[in-house]
Amino acid sequence: MQKHIVHKLPHKVKVIENDWIPLSDGTRLSCRLWLPLDGKPQPAILEYIPYRKRDGTRTRDEPMHGYFAGHGYACVRVDMRGSGESDGLLLDEYLLQEQEDALEVIEWIRNQVWCNGRIGMMGKSWGGFNSLQVAARRPAGLEAIITVCFSDNRFTSDIHWKDGCLLNDNFWWGSIMLAYQSRPIDPVIVGERWKDMWLHRLENMPLNIADWTEHQTYDQYWMHGSVCEHYNSINIPVMAVSGWADSYTNCVFTLLPNIRCPVKGIVGPWAHIYPQDGVPEPAIGFLQESLNWWDKWLKNKEDGKTEESLKVWIEHYMPPNVQRPQSEGHWVTLSPSIHSHCTVQTMLLDNGRLLDTNDTVNKEFRYVLLKTPLNHGLLSGEWMGAGVSGESPADQRLDDGLAMVFDGPILNQDIDILGIPTFTVRLTCDKPKAMLFAQLSDVAPDGAVRRVSFGIKNLTLSMDGKEIMYLQEGKELLVSIKLDYCGYRFSKGHRIRLSLANSFWPMFWVSPEINTLRLDLDSARFSLPVLTTNATAGPNPKPETAVPTPITKLRPGFVNRSITYDITKDEWTCITDGVGGVFGEGVYRFDEIDTTVEHNLKRELRLSNKDPLSAYYSITQKMKMGRPGWEADIDINTRQTCDADYLHIHAEIKARMNNELVFEKNWYRRVYRESF
């Protein structure tokens, strides 16, 4: 959808490229400001993230914060401690220090002459997380937040673990952060101390991949920063937003019913991006939606557009395609507690079929053995969609050919679902460590299979994720898997499919031993949340933004993906190779600051079906940035392998300035595989 760029906004805006926020310990945080030019104090909007305001998120910040400022808000985009041009070190995600700094930032904003003391906070991903975390601290002056693509439980719903199973994106994200944090500090902002600051950061760079992997249960490390531990601490209005192609969508549905303050939710079809740029389409006028929110809670404007509600996109069938620029579907508006709008339809499992609870099950097939080839999941796509080419799930027929599948009858009418599908079964396992995977799919009349939702569970963890309980051969275990929230229409003439597996590579690291699960189908139940409310929503506003920052594209970005098979080794290799880094932006120059940015990445995942200990993951990155006379070139290489007892994590950074090697460091950590 074409965005409308608004060239004339109600307020003229002054942009301050850099200002300094002093903290009580002497640290200074760097910020960029957009201030309405009418001389009156205004409410302020804070975005507080580590992704470099000057040469990182500039293309996103300028059209968004410029838009809000043009409507009478002072906007403050802060680089967190140890990031961008700010002082200090960034040692991990969501530390207490990060929250303490944010409280001081909010107090600083309140005391500026351009602020009237009323503040909103917003952000996507990291900024969505910390908006919630800071709201739970209840600082004076913070009166409303907007959180986008966030988590309320850092163990079950973040990029590291999913129900106790190790996401391979844990390694990817840790590698990306090494690259992001390896970039130099701009001397135009910090002066001659830029090199000392840069080298200090490089020398103290943590290997967070290993830190995150060491915490294999829901312990105090993950509880910190998980607002699910204290929902009641949040006492200001919250707008929560995500999309079905993102991986954080569950949290909109778990957060909103559990906080006792005004709420609004939006779940569209989008990936891990702001909805005004939403992919798959349709994007929406998210900045207008946000402006209505800020106007109500920061300016006391009543316009009838911010009633407590949850607006959800119900997806319709489209042929599976790894390229998904568009989503077919319709909007519904409901109360935030969606369970009141649904009934549960429960099905039985029998010899490849999903049956109604009134049907007769063939007891001859009560017990079945599940032993999936390790490469099941090759066509699963990315765990976290980012709007990048080739990231969506492919036709699932090939993966389902490796799984155990159960198909329902041909539907004689459309069925809309919204909520959590659940699968429950009693099982035994012949090895102490194992996982169980369940997937809900739509089987079209032509046989094409589109994934709708999936869930996975580490069978060695207790239901609350806090204890490790190794499986004992022959000892029966009752397992319940909650698949991800989904909103979907199964069309008349299609079939509903459940597929089961005990591996899901390359999205998750494999168990240390090939294992066999014995499932008791007599105990198995598969439940779907069927939407019973017909509450179709009206049209959304078209996307608007302020004028974007001027850039020159020097080289287009690309992302190539391939899967190869070595038939003699029974080994599969997945390669992702791209120019433009995480989001495939290409090579470009920020014209206002004469800074060129380039990020290249090659990712390789390799696994033999004969040996789970052959699992291998490497990422090679190059970061280049600068201007004539100040040109950084940084190589970042990371590698993860394993044996039966340990994960082995290697990392290397080589940093050059103007072709001269100025820094080199190698890391190695081994992590005991206690639970996985």
Considering 483, 503, 531, which residue would you say is the last residue of a domain? 531
* pLDDT score of 318: 98
Residue 391 lies in a domain: yes
On whether residue 27 sits in a domain, the answer given is yes
In the predicted structure, residue 206 carries a pLDDT above the cut 70: yes
Residue 132 phi, psi dihedral angles, 5° rounding: -65, -45
CA atoms within 13 A on the CB side of 127: 28
| pLDDT for 362 | 78
Residue 583 has pLDDT above 80, yes or no: no
Looking at the fold, whether 582 and 485 belong to one and the same domain comes out as: no
Identify whether 323 is part of a domain: no
Please indicate, yes or no, whether residues 21 and 152 belong to a single structural domain of this protein.
Answer: yes
Mean pLDDT for 74-100 is 99
Rounded mean pLDDT of 576-582? Answer: 83
Do 207 and 245 fall within a single domain? yes
Residues 212, 245: one domain?
yes
In a domain, 326, yes or no: no
CA pair distance 111, 122, nearest whole angstrom: 20
CB 49 within 8 A of CB 76: no
Tell me the mean pLDDT in the region 70-81: 99
At 166, phi and psi to the nearest 5? -80, 115
- pLDDT, tens digit, for every residue of 286-326? 999 999 999 999 999 986 655 679 999 999 999 999 999 99
Kindly report the CATH number assigned to the domain that includes residue 518: 2.60.120.260
Q: Is 446's pLDDT higher than 70? A: yes
pLDDT at 538: 75
| Residue 387: predicted pLDDT | 92
Give me the number of domains the chain comprises: 3
> Is the same domain home to 502 and 571?
no
Domain with residue 67: its CATH number is 3.40.50.1820
Written as six digits, the tokens of 565 are: 């098979």
Average pLDDT on 409-427 reads 98
Integer Cα distance of 608 and 375 in angstroms: 8
User: Mean pLDDT of all residues in the chain?
Assistant: 97
Mean pLDDT over 331-353 rounds to 95
| Domain identity same for 296 and 361 | no
For position 2, what pLDDT does the model report? 75
Q: Look at residue 310 in the predicted model and tell me its pLDDT.
A: 96
Cβ contacts of 520 within 8 Å, gap of 6 or more: 366, 367, 425, 426, 427, 476
Confidence band of 38 (pLDDT split at 50, 70, 90): confident
pLDDT score, position 539: 79
Q: Which residues pair with 76 in a beta bridge?
A: 33, 46
pLDDT digits (tens, 9 = 90+) for 103-139: 999 999 999 999 999 999 999 999 999 999 999 999 9
Residue 361's pLDDT is 79
Q: How far is CA 98 from CA 83, 130, 218, 222, 319, in A?
A: 12, 8, 21, 15, 44
- Domain match, 552 and 521 both: no
Are 139 and 277 in a shared domain? Answer: yes
Are both 364 and 499 inside the same structural domain?
A: yes
Query: Using one digit for the tens of pLDDT, what is the confidence trace for 211-225?
Result: 999 999 999 999 999
In a domain, 96, yes or no: yes
Confidence (pLDDT) at 581: 67
363 pLDDT exceeds 80? no
Is this model's pTM higher than 0.95 or not?
Answer: yes
Q: Give the pLDDT confidence score for residue 582 in this predicted structure.
A: 67
pLDDT at 1: 64
Would the pLDDT of 93 be above 90?
Answer: yes
Q: Is residue 433 in some structural domain?
A: yes
Same domain, 147 and 260: yes
DSSP code at position 139? -
Same structural domain, 472 and 578: no
In a domain, 328, yes or no: no
Report whether pLDDT(351) > 60.
Answer: yes
In the three-class reduction of DSSP (H, G, I as helix; E, B as strand; rest coil), residue 206 is classed as coil
Tracing tokens 């975390």 back to the chain, one arrives at 133
At 596-617, the pLDDT tens digits run 999 999 999 999 999 999 999 9
Give pLDDT, residue 253: 98
- Are residues 559 and 517 part of one domain? no
Domain span at 522: 339-531
Q: What is the pLDDT of residues 375-392, one digit of tens each?
A: 999 999 999 999 999 999
- What would the pLDDT profile of 535-550 be if each residue is shown by its tens digit? 787 778 999 999 999 9
Q: Domain boundary residue among 269, 295, 310?
A: 310
Within 10 angstroms of residue 357's Cβ, the number of other Cβ atoms is 10
What are 461-473's pLDDT values in tens digits?
Answer: 999 999 999 999 9
In a domain, 178, yes or no: no
